[in-house]
């Protein structure tokens, strides 16, 4: 029985699509920059595929057929996406705006980036899932984004990309040229020098331990020693980018006041093939640490070069508890 015949049956259809769920969710994540949207859009892709299953004749691989549906589902969603109301950038922050950005748990990437995989089936590499790459491609138009992902990330041929997007090869090549130029404009200059290793090394873990110790001890000087001189700090979806470790540590000054702000602690995890820290705050008079923020970290030259902070609503997606126990912080009252 051919795949085209098999997917007419609901249980067989479910079996065929489920084997592609994780890679299609990564595709939807790259297209939208949102973990939550990627989950919803993957499910919508399967619903559309089931409704149009009679149109699959087997001329092209089933996987390619699903990617066509997923890409068009994302393009429809991006077209309908409203622009969120954002607060003004904090004082001292430079221009930076990515209203749609969430980190992606490494747990969902397991098994998708095996180095021995056939290049034709490559889905994830460190360079195409890092936050810097996701931020950069969000600056492209949805059409350019789709072409770049299909051609340069997934390795599709121009002819197949054109067929998927129902356009010409010339249009695809033109869009790819513009997308590559735009990508270089928004990617950090030193990105090509980053390590391709997706694991946290012993030296990086030691650096993270020092960073957490400085956080827990509310020691700004010790924290400065873990940070790159040109540290970058952003808090999507709010606009604004801080650059420079002294400026950033001064912006964090309130957090070093344990009597007024409370104590901080953190739990190490991973996002976008980068180290991340779930940050917890224990306010004065309380006995528990409560989820405060998720920091995704980029390490360069043995120090922390970039920190991107996200709200605590994402903790469950990373398997992080919302509350940690601890000893009470004395209240000023």
Structural contact between residues 119 and 84, judged by C-beta atoms closer than 8 angstroms: no
Q: How does residue 331 score in pLDDT terms, banded at 50, 70 and 90?
A: very low
325 exposure class (CB count in 10 Å sphere: 0-12, 13-18, 19+): exposed
Count of residues making up the chain: 333
The pLDDT of residue 117 is above 50: no
Most confident listed range (76-85, 195-204, 299-308) = 299-308
Q: Give the model confidence (pLDDT) of 224-277 as tens digits.
A: 999 999 999 999 888 889 999 999 999 999 999 999 999 999 999 999 999 999
Taken in order of first residue, the domains within the chain and their CATH numbers are 3-193 (no CATH), 202-325 (3.10.450.50)
Pairing relationship of beta strands 227-234 and 303-310 according to DSSP bridges: parallel
- Average pLDDT of the segment spanning 9-20: 88
Structural contact between residues 322 and 310, judged by C-beta atoms closer than 8 angstroms: no
H helices of the chain, in order, are 3-6, 10-18, 21-32, 35-51, 62-80, 131-137, 142-148, 158-165, 169-186, 202-216, 220-224, 245-251
Pairing relationship of beta strands 241-243 and 227-234 according to DSSP bridges: antiparallel
CA 184 to chain centre: 19
Q: Rounded to the nearest 5°, which phi and psi values hold at 323?
A: -135, 140
The rounded distance, in Å, linking the Cα atoms of 261 and 281 is 8
Per-chain mean pLDDT for the chain? 88
Please name which of 71, 219, 195 lies closest in space to residue 145, comparing C-alpha atoms.
Answer: 71
Q: How does residue 121 score in pLDDT terms, banded at 50, 70 and 90?
A: low
Q: Give the model confidence (pLDDT) of 169-180 as tens digits.
A: 999 999 999 999
Angle at alpha carbon of residue 210, lines to 226 and 265, rounded to 5°: 110
The rounded distance, in Å, linking the Cα atoms of 309 and 248 is 13
List of residues 6+ apart from 7 with CB closer than 8 A = 13, 16, 53, 56, 62
H helices of 187-277, in order, are 202-216, 220-224, 245-251
Residue 304, classed as helix, strand or coil, is: strand
The pLDDT of residue 223 is above 70: yes
Q: Give the model confidence (pLDDT) of 125-155 as tens digits.
A: 778 899 999 999 999 999 999 999 999 999 9
Helix, strand, coil % (nearest 5) of the chain? Answer: 50, 15, 35
The pLDDT of residue 332 is above 50: no
- Average pLDDT of the segment spanning 39-50: 96
Give the model's pLDDT for residue 239: 85
- Average pLDDT of the segment spanning 90-111: 82
Give the model's pLDDT for residue 143: 96
Residue 128, classed as helix, strand or coil, is: helix
Q: How does residue 190 score in pLDDT terms, banded at 50, 70 and 90?
A: low
Give the model's pLDDT for residue 57: 82
The rounded distance, in Å, linking the Cα atoms of 283 and 288 is 8
The rounded distance, in Å, linking the Cα atoms of 7 and 5 is 6
Give the model's pLDDT for residue 148: 96
The rounded distance, in Å, linking the Cα atoms of 180 and 312 is 34
């Amino acid at each position: 029985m051919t795949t085209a015949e098999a997917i007419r049956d609901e249980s067989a259809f479910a079996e065929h699509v489920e084997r592609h769920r994780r890679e299609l969710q990564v595709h939807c994540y790259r297209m939208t920059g949102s973990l939550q949207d990627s989950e919803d859009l993957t499910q919508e892709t399967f619903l559309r595929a089931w409704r149009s299953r009679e149109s699959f004749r087997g001329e092209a691989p089933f996987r390619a057929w699903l990617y066509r549906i997923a890409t068009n589902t994302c393009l429809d969603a991006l077209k309908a996406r409203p622009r969120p109301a954002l607060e003004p950038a904090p004082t001292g922050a430079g221009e930076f705006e990515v209203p749609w950005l969430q980190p992606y748990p490494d747990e969902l990437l397991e098994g998708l980036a095996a180095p021995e995989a056939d290049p034709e089936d490559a889905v994830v590499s460190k360079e195409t899932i890092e936050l810097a790459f996701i931020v950069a491609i969000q600056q492209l138009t949805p059409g350019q984004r789709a072409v770049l992902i299909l051609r340069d990330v997934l390795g599709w041929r121009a002819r197949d990309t054109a067929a998927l997007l129902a356009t010409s090869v010339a249009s695809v090549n033109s869009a790819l040229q513009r997308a590559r130029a735009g990508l270089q404009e928004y990617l950090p200059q030193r990105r090509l020098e980053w390590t391709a290793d997706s694991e946290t090394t012993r030296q990086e873990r030691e650096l993270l331990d020092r960073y957490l110790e400085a956080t827990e001890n509310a020691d700004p000087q010790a924290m400065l020693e873990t940070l790159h001189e040109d540290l970058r700090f952003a808090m999507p979806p709010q606009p604004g980018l801080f650059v420079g470790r002294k400026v950033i540590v001064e912006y964090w000054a309130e957090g070093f006041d344990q009597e007024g702000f409370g104590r901080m602690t953190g739990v190490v995890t991973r996002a976008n093939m980068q180290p991340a820290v779930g940050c917890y705050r224990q306010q004065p008079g309380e006995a528990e640490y409560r989820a405060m923020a998720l920091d995704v970290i980029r390490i360069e030259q043995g120090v922390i070069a970039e920190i991107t902070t996200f709200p605590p609503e994402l903790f469950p997606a990373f398997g992080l508890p919302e509350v940690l126990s601890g000893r009470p912080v004395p209240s000023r009252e």
